[in-house]
Chains A and B, each alone.
Chain A
Amino acid sequence: MTAAAETRPILRIEGLSAHIAGQQVVEDVSFTVPATGITALLGRNGVGKTSTIKAIIGLIDRTGAVELDGVRIEKDPTFKIIRSGVGYVPEDREVFSKLTVAENLRLAERDDAPRRQLVEDLFPDLLARSAQMAGTLSGGQQQMVSLARALLNTNKILLVDEPTKGLAPKIVAEVAETLAEAAKTVPILLVEQNLHVVRQLAEGSVVLSGGRVVHTGSALGFLDDAELTQRLLGVAAEAPAPEIRENTGKFPVTTEAAPAGKGAAL
């Protein structure tokens, strides 16, 4: 890897703003993701992390500039952005529950030579269950399907949204291991609530608050600053990260949970 390639970011976001049903959920967000390693996108519940990821690939209406490997992509429709080399692992996995595991994977193949062997090696469990409906899998297995869908293709970047959400500790470790393995070949932008996982995986960090970027820098540097972590994430980094799955009511107007009736359209 040359020095030039390392200095040029793989993904550059400039002035990204997004709306859901007329509500501003991402507000003038700018940051870059380096071409190697894992960058964590952090922040409290509902600050717009998932919306930022969705805005990058155009799943929600947005304005601003998105540059992938030096090419502006914000004018492209979602499917073209993905085809230009973005692997997306959504929050809540979003496997097609009425399709089999094999069908879920086949649907995701977009390269001429998808890396089926790699996926089989990483997730031998899925091979055994290839004829099973994805909806009948456990949460951990569904997460494997979701990761496998992204890893099947050669990507310039992976956008991975809360991959450990709601999973048992053993599975969390497995997912983290898989991400660490993947990060050897492709840069990852990772949204993650579990700060142990972040500490283990992430090099850089971008912290959002109220739809804006409030901090960027080394992930460890951020997590070691207890006062800053407490202020921006509401948790002490040293303590085991509480599993915040449901909205606790502290932030009733979260953008991620609000427009349930409209969620289907997004």
Chain B
Amino acid sequence: MSTVVLLLFTGLGLGALYFLVAAGLSLIYGLMGVLNFAHGAFLTLGAFAGWEVARRTGSDNWGIFLLSLLVGAAAGAAFAAFTEFVLIRRLYQRHIEQLLITLGLSLAAVALFDGIWGTDPVFIQGPAWFKDTTEILGARIPNDRFVCIIAAVLVLLAMVFFLKNTRYGMIIRAGVENRSMVTALGIDVRKAFTLVFTIGGAAAGLGGVLASHYFGYVSPMLGGSLLIFAFIVTVIGGLGSLTGAAIASVAVAVLQQFANFYLGGTGDFVVVLALALVLLFRPSGLLGRTS
């Protein structure tokens, strides 16, 4: 029983990270049709920015941790906004070329991170409480899992609130469904593009700081490895669906953990198998648009 609970919470923590990447990825794709390969680089930059904050100011402190989250999110958001405004916008509606741009950007960014921070992982420490465990139903759960889960839930709630209750949220929801009709109502949808990129970048940057605590280190490869699972999550959840991304993140991560433990480390393989099954029986994903 305690193993199941431990696996469940570890999976939820990992799922929280997947969600923080997948949320932006899914919204960006849903609204703009851009598959953003640079999203992992947003995350990595956020993680390094958070790490720099901790390194320069001393790490064992909740205030510093919160500050590092803020700085990480800001770094991710700034990088993302730059990407949309300077590069993506020039190729309006040319989805594959936009994808290629993000691909080139991710290559260049990761190489630059290599040059600045080195290719080896740098280790990170948070408040001492992170390393403690909390006992739930006999399982001793590392506390950093809870931090990830709570942060992701807050981000999800904030995004849902934003999408439901603001005019830009409404524009984004409408744009995901039918972008050209939004412009045909006299709305400049490009502002929503920048906004979605910025929000997605902030979530990824935040996810980067949390991921560095979850894994205990930062490396230039951090974003890339999470990005692939985030891709899988967005396809399974349905491209453009925030709720789908949330459900699929948790499902994929928990499945991965259980398979890793009970099926001899086959977690990644099982996830790809799940993807194949979803594609065979529901190509548009769990909550995707059925067209």
Contacts and interface: CB of A to CB of B under 8 A. Distances in A.
Direct contact of A and B (CB under 8 A): yes
Interface of A: 57, 59, 77-79, 82-83, 88, 90, 94, 96-99, 103, 106-108, 110, 149, 153, 264-266
Interface string B177-192: 1101111111111000
B170 A107 contact: yes
Given A99-B170, A265-B33, A265-B93, A107 B177 contact: no
Contact of A110 (B33, B186, B189): B186
Nearest to B93: A265
Contact of B177 (A59, A77, A97, A108): A97
A88 B186 CA distance: 10
A264 B181 CA distance: 11
Given A90-B181, A265-B33, A265-B93, A96 B186 contact: no
A184 B171 CA distance: 32
Contacts of A99: 170, 173-174, 177
Contacts of B167: 106
Dominant SS among interface residues on chain B: helix
Contacts of A266: 180
A221 B182 CA distance: 38
B166 to A, nearest CB: 11
26 contacts: A77-B183, A77-B188, A79-B186, A79-B189, A82-B185, A88-B185, A90-B181, A94-B178, A94-B181, A96-B173, A96-B174, A97-B177, A98-B177, A103-B174, A106-B167, A107-B170, A107-B171, A107-B182, A107-B187, A108-B185, A110-B186, A110-B187, A149-B185, A264-B291, A265-B33, A265-B95
Interface string B144-185: 000000000000000000000001001101100110111111
A96 B93 contact: no
A103 B182 CA distance: 12
Contacts of A57: 184
A82 B174 contact: no
A82 B177 contact: no
B184 A59 contact: yes
A44 to B, nearest CB: 25
Contacts of B181: 90, 94, 96
A78 B183 contact: yes
Given A94-B178, A96-B178, A265-B93, A79 B183 contact: yes
